[in-house]
Structure 1
Amino acid sequence: MTESDQLSITIPKLHRLETSEPLYKTLPKIKTVDWKSSFSPMVHAMVSINEIQNGSVLLVTTMKNNTNGNLQTNEATSILIQLLKNSVSNKFQLCDSDRLNMACQILGISADNGLELLNNVVSLARYLDIQYVLYSIASGNVQYPYVNLQILLVNTGEIIWSMTSKSIF
């Protein structure tokens, strides 16, 4: 191969892009809900209900997200459960998670998202012979959600206690 047979490649000269705008946009800061502070007064009110006998078994559902965006509902549910476990009251015994998972498998309910659906939760509670269900819903604007907690009497499906609160950031 001779020099004249070789290919000649011309590389274009690169020009610098002149702009006053940054090449990337900064993401907005995500507000984090202070679930512990949001739930504490609600849990205090809940364990003070006179109509519920001490030691009653309670099934806590996964918080349902009815806001206009994404919300850390698993974290919220975990904190709610911890507050109930750590309350000085012996108002509620919480359903054991192993027992709950086994019942979910037997009844064909997804443990990941099936505990947001009230029908599934009531079926589970009846199967496990649990007296009460704590159903939680976040609603409104995801930046400032409202949280509603409801205690349902499993035998009748009646809401026997309910409280709504604005979340704390």
Structure 2
Amino acid sequence: MKRILMVAAATLILAGCPSYPPQTPPPIVPIEPEQPPEVTPPPIDVVPTPPKQQTTDWSASISPLVSQMVSEDGVESGKVLLVDSVKNNTNGTLPVQAVTSAMTTIVENTQRFKVVPPSVVSSARKTLGLSQEDSLVTRSKAIGLGRYVQADYVIYSVISGSNKDRTLEMQLMEVQNGEIVWSGKHSIE
């Protein structure tokens, strides 16, 4: 009996299950693999090329003027000469100390004057309260400095113009009376 009950229960259970017609599997559609979005690299910062620095051969620019000055008739040999710092009247910056140093060397090489050493000029400037990088150089300051170091002559020089078209003007002045003994101009290349 147990068997019959089991068969009956199994029949009832199976009769309660709905039956579905066999299903066909859905068609297989190939799927393209998803492409990752194109990542564009950030723009590379290009470092701008710095402007070319103009190098100047100061010796070549100063030598012609010193040669003219030394050959001048009114200039006496053997006198004490002060080379004052160059005044910059250009619209840019100049290595004033380098130009002054080059001028001092060229004048010394002529062996026509006793040039006041740069160390003496430097200490005299400090004593008189004049800056080494004084951009307001005047003839009266140059003569005053010349008197302080007991020079006979002083070279007062000015570089003027623009960065592309510069001119060097030099003047040789007597310290005692401020008279301009010689004056000359030369283009700087």
TM-score exceeds 0.5: yes
Letter paired with 1:39: I
Pairs within 5 Å for 1:87-98 = 87=110, 90-98=111-119
- Aligned residues: CA RMSD: 2.2
Question: Separation in 1 of the partners of 2:130 and 2:43?
Answer: 57
Question: Separation in 1 of the partners of 2:154 and 2:166?
Answer: 22
1:38 corresponds to:
61
2:168 corresponds to:
147
1:137 corresponds to:
158
1:123 corresponds to:
144
1:56 corresponds to:
79
Number of matched pairs: 151
Question: Is 1:85 aligned to residue 108 of structure 2?
Answer: yes
Q: Which structure 2 segments of 5+ residues have no match? A: 1-38
Question: Separation in 1 of the partners of 2:168 and 2:49?
Answer: 30
1:5 corresponds to:
none
Contact 1:52–1:91 (Cα < 8 Å) also in 2: no
Which stretch of structure 1 is more off in the superposition, 107-116 or 124-133?
Answer: 107-116
Letter paired with 2:115: L
2:21 corresponds to:
none
Letter paired with 1:74: Q
Question: Separation in 1 of the partners of 2:146 and 2:67?
Answer: 23
Q: What is the deviation of 1:115?
A: 8.5
1:18 corresponds to:
43
Question: Separation in 2 of the partners of 1:123 and 1:63?
Answer: 16
1:72-104 Cα deviation digits (max 9, x unpaired) = 2211111111111112xx321111233323333
Larger Rg: 2
TM-score normalised by length of structure 1 = 0.79
Question: Separation in 2 of the partners of 1:107 and 1:158?
Answer: 22
Q: Which structure 1 segments of 5+ residues have no match? A: 1-13
Q: What is the deviation of 1:15?
A: 6.3
Moved >4 Å (runs of 4+)? none
Contact 2:58–2:99 (Cα < 8 Å) also in 1: yes
